[in-house]
Structure 1
Amino acid sequence: MCNNHEHSKLTSSNPDFQKIEKQLNRRHFLKQTSLGIGAMALGSLLGAEKAFAGIGKESTEEEILKVYNKNRLGLPHHAPKAKRIIYLFQSGGPSQMDLFDYKPKLSDMFGQELPPSVISGQRLTGMSGSQSTLPIAPSTFKFNQYGESRAWVSDAMPYLSEVVDDLCFIKSMQTDQINHTPAITFMQTGNQLPGRPAIGSWLSYGLGSDNENLPTFIALVSKNGKGQPLKASLWGNGFLPTEHQGVQFRSGKDPVLYLSDPENYDGNDRRDMLDYLKHLNELQSDAYGDPEIQSRMSQYEMAFKMQTSIPEVTDLTNEPEYIFDMYGKDSRDPGTYAANCLMARKLLEKGVKFVQLYHQGWDQHNYCPGGVKSQSKKTDQATAALIKDLKQRGMFEDTLVVWGGEFGRTVYSQGQLTSDNYGRDHHPKAFTMWMAGAGVKPGFTYGATDDFSYNVTKDPVHVHDFHATLMHLFGIDHERLTFKHQGRRYRLTDVHGHVVKDLLT
């Protein structure tokens, strides 16, 4: 890189370079100006934290939007119901008919061949397609109705049954993908191919941060998980600027890799180093006009701030004993699902907008009853505790909680069927998810499936519809939040999706 004297000499002797520099200077002015306006808008959003607390339930949308001053992207488009989200992703495809989708008529159909009319030409995996028969496997779990909403929940989820009146069940979810990797990618990014921005990246890009010392989007993965591998592209920024990518927090000594100082380095001159590095990057940005340089500078600054903020936010030792008891004994073991649920709540308290939990192990092709019991034991208590914890802290009304996997499971048994054991294959055309908290109807069940939990019979909800509804709760019109990439404007829902208004309060 040339110094100022060399730079001046080069421009004075080269008319073409003078013309380019003039254009770059104009670009630099516009960039700096737009960033300044963006910073002012962001400041307004950050300042709205306290003001939002004073908004009453009777406040009009106009009054709310005055608090949420629109940022440089013109967001939010309408008054948001949600300020933050915890997405409890259950990787592998939980069996809806062993947890929430009660089908009592199947008890008299044990071992019978699933009628071809039920499948009706639907795609099967290679594992099921090679079977000579598709025997019906009724659930071995007992179901009961709970709460004032009388929601059906199996005995695999005893703790969740205590909070059903806070949940909004969607029993008619559908996806286009039948295999794990494309289905998980589709659920997390709106496209089956890797490379698109994750949901959290879209929210970060559209709405900005509520805490300048922590990332907007954080991913937590249960440790020692078995099942389909989880890739960083699931919380990646895709073609959005890199400061919007999700940051994975790990359990153990270093929650964020490469954030700690090297051995024998005290870090006292780090501020000076970053300031000089910023100067060099600004020179490069002025010369080339690459917006990724600005993103790189933002990431360096965030890393510097995280060196002091991360140790505090990841320290759970100050949590009272009753909190650990509520989340379960695993909450004392960093990196478990229970500990990550507790960590997620703490991150939300610190202003993180999107916390994504990933928990593997729901892929029960064999020994489904035992697998469901095992995963429920690891997740049920902590999930219910999270709902209760948010409520007791006054955060539930503006926090969205989402629970679900990438698809459901089949009514027929994959492999050998016995009276107490069966396996279930992937099923994309009918599965259950639930939402709770900000802006969704509590104690409500939406959609229905046939007697085999195989086909949606009422109110189908596609993945694109789910994404559109989620964005709506954050005050975003999913058709208007776009990003131009390679000559085309992209959005989370691509060219599909509609808001499921019947789910909303």
Structure 2
Amino acid sequence: MHWLQEQTRRHFFRNCGVGIGKIALASLLAESGMANEVAQADNASPFAPKSTHFPGKAKRVIYLFMAGAPSQLELFDYKPKLAEMEGKPIPPSVIAGQRYAFIQPDAAVLGPRFKFAKHGQCGAEISEMLPGLSKVVDDITILRSVHTDHFNHSPAQLFCNTGNGVPGRPSMGSWLSYGLGSEAHDLPSFVVLKSGGSLSGGAAMWNAGFLPSVHQGVPFRGQGDPILHVSNPPGFDTKAQRESLDLIRQLNQQRFDALGDPEIRTRMEAYEMAFRMQSRAPELMEFSQETQETMDLYGANPSDPKQAFANNCLLARRLAERGVRFVQVYHAGWDHHSNVEGGIRAQAKETDQACAALVEDLRRRGMLDDTLIVWGGEFGRTPMVESSAALGRSQGRDHHPQAFTMWFAGGGMKPGLTYGKTDELGFNVVENKAHVHDVQATILHALGIDHTKLIFRHRGLNFKLTGVEEHHPILDLLS
């Protein structure tokens, strides 16, 4: 064949060497009955389900990423001391040596903009801006002591999603697709849903980095066809498409056998996945299959772009039902350098009902026990306003990497638990400090993965999601 004529002497010796090695291995294993398993592994789908390091309670993740950084001081971490000090400079001893994106060190303190109250049997203190979440508070786990290494949006968003502040590293969803495979035969293992505007971290947040590119996130739309051009053009039926794909696969297989390039295998998988999705994807968007009660629970309306986040939360549940391993739901719009009160009010109105509905819906369907919901942004917000004068018109908060809040539900987390504590100004963590890498290790642990063993060797180094420093899963959060 033509591809054989293109082989150099170097390729010939390399391929012969590998081939002889495989023949030798097959002969050694033949008597033990393992030769067939080796052959199957060699051609196994990259999405084939894989065993975990230990039994995990979660099978899948829905990550609600609130891009822009919600103010924990208006939502989860009530600080009456800030109300007492409003308009006064924050004590110099608190902010000594700190760096900020926009404000000056002598900026005035800004008190909480909303009322808080205790809810549920657990007595968790929640803002009045989250009435929906307050109803399911006994099902969630609140972590008030997260901190991060970055104080600007793009690197901080990348850090939360990929474990590194620069583009090019695999995202968490890609790591899970690579490490666990998928339970979905006709949908991607890692799906991305977006609403609310642009994302500072961009597409690098769901990229596969140096992992095989088949594991990168696949963006879906919340209306119409989830993926553009998923349908066949007029006059091109399923039989003709299947015959075309079979021929393309044969040609790609020949090239893969010659070169061993994993990207060829990625291309082959992409073609096959696209073919399977043509039948599944339209059905996925059939919200008419849902009861009106469920649509009202989420506040979803597929014909209304204003309900994009609610639609995405419902779609995330439908994806989880169909075996998708990791659903990343991004919602931008939480960056409130001015008018934090109005900004939080608007975003909470847009997202609170659907977040709570997702928890409730999964629980009543019996899916919450093995589905882990994660909610959080890239960092928190300062106790001070962005002005050195007494409270000006802005009344907004700057970026604050030292302390912020996340919450979790299902997937083996302890329901009704509030964990971690900040000081009386909400500035520094004073109890149960949790680094972003610790949170990532906890998510992996809930899925049965030892974060120190989920490794990919690249350029002579062993890489993992949680970096090279020593970090640990937060076992106190797990039931």
TM-score, with normalisation over the residues of structure 1? 0.87
Deviation at 1:418, TM superposition (A): 4.6
Q: 1:35 to 1:501 in 2, by over 3 A?
A: farther
Give, as a single letter, the amino acid of the residue that structure 2 aligns with 1:104: P
Instruction: Determine the structure 2 residue equivalent to 1:19.
Output: 13
Deviation at 1:433, TM superposition (A): 0.4
Q: 1:79 to 1:17 in 2, by over 3 A?
A: closer
* 1:452 and 2:425 correspond: yes
Deviation at 1:422, TM superposition (A): 1.2
* 1:121 and 2:121 correspond: no
Q: Distance in 1 between matches of 2:40 and 2:287?
A: 37
Instruction: Determine the structure 2 residue equivalent to 1:200.
Output: 173
- Please tell me whether the aligned partners of residues 331 and 342 of structure 1 are also in contact (alpha carbons under 8 angstroms): no
Q: 1:417 to 1:377 in 2, by over 3 A?
A: farther
1:204-250 CA distance string (max 9 Å, x none):
1011110111111100001xx24544522111111111111110001
- Where structure 1 has 5 or more consecutive residues not aligned to the other structure, the ranges are 46-70
* 1:432 and 2:405 correspond: yes
- Please tell me whether the aligned partners of residues 108 and 391 of structure 2 are also in contact (alpha carbons under 8 angstroms): no
Give, as a single letter, the amino acid of the residue that structure 1 aligns with 2:143: I
From 368, 376, 388, the equivalent of 1:404 is: 376
Deviation at 1:499, TM superposition (A): 1.0
Instruction: Determine the structure 1 residue equivalent to 2:33.
Output: none
- Please tell me whether the aligned partners of residues 109 and 383 of structure 2 are also in contact (alpha carbons under 8 angstroms): yes
Output aligned runs, 1:26-425, within 5 Å: 26=20, 34=38, 36-37=40-41, 45=49, 71=50, 75-125=51-101, 127-129=102-104, 133-222=106-195, 225-226=196-197, 228-328=199-299, 330=301, 333=304, 336-415=308-387, 418=391, 422-425=395-398
Instruction: Determine the structure 2 residue equivalent to 1:504.
Output: 478
Q: 1:150 to 1:256 in 2, by over 3 A?
A: same
- Please tell me whether the aligned partners of residues 24 and 287 of structure 1 are also in contact (alpha carbons under 8 angstroms): no
TM-score, with normalisation over the residues of structure 2? 0.91
Q: Distance in 2 between matches of 1:276 and 1:27?
A: 30
* 1:477 and 2:453 correspond: no
Q: 1:213 to 1:97 in 2, by over 3 A?
A: same
Query: Percent of aligned pairs with the same residue?
Result: 47
Q: Distance in 2 between matches of 1:423 and 1:16?
A: 63
1:267-290 CA distance string (max 9 Å, x none):
431111111111111111121111
1:100-143 CA distance string (max 9 Å, x none):
00101222211000111111212211x114x7x31000012000
Deviation at 1:160, TM superposition (A): 0.6
- Please tell me whether the aligned partners of residues 204 and 216 of structure 1 are also in contact (alpha carbons under 8 angstroms): yes
Deviation at 1:260, TM superposition (A): 2.7
Q: Distance in 2 between matches of 1:372 and 1:399?
A: 28
Deviation at 1:439, TM superposition (A): 1.0
- Where structure 2 has 5 or more consecutive residues not aligned to the other structure, the ranges are 27-35
Deviation at 1:40, TM superposition (A): 7.6
1:334-360 CA distance string (max 9 Å, x none):
671000000000111111111110000
Q: Distance in 1 between matches of 2:44 and 2:255?
A: 25
Give, as a single letter, the amino acid of the residue that structure 2 aligns with 1:23: G
Q: SS state of the match for residue 169, structure 1?
A: strand
Q: 1:266 to 1:40 in 2, by over 3 A?
A: closer
Q: Distance in 2 between matches of 1:332 and 1:447?
A: 41
Number of aligned residue pairs: give it.
466
- Please tell me whether the aligned partners of residues 137 and 411 of structure 1 are also in contact (alpha carbons under 8 angstroms): yes
Q: Distance in 1 between matches of 2:293 and 2:283?
A: 20
Q: 1:35 to 1:219 in 2, by over 3 A?
A: farther
Q: Distance in 1 between matches of 2:211 and 2:315?
A: 27
* 1:2 and 2:6 correspond: no
Deviation at 1:428, TM superposition (A): 0.4
Q: SS state of the match for residue 382, structure 1?
A: helix
1:350-386 CA distance string (max 9 Å, x none):
1111111000000000011000000000000011111
Deviation at 1:291, TM superposition (A): 1.6
Q: 1:437 to 1:21 in 2, by over 3 A?
A: closer
- Please tell me whether the aligned partners of residues 140 and 420 of structure 1 are also in contact (alpha carbons under 8 angstroms): no
Q: 1:252 to 1:430 in 2, by over 3 A?
A: same
Q: Distance in 2 between matches of 1:101 and 1:111?
A: 19
Output the aligned Cα RMSD.
2.5
Q: Distance in 2 between matches of 1:42 and 1:340?
A: 27
Q: Distance in 1 between matches of 2:91 and 2:39?
A: 61
Instruction: Determine the structure 2 residue equivalent to 1:57.
Output: none
Q: Distance in 2 between matches of 1:236 and 1:35?
A: 30
Q: Distance in 1 between matches of 2:449 and 2:249?
A: 33
Q: Distance in 2 between matches of 1:186 and 1:16?
A: 41
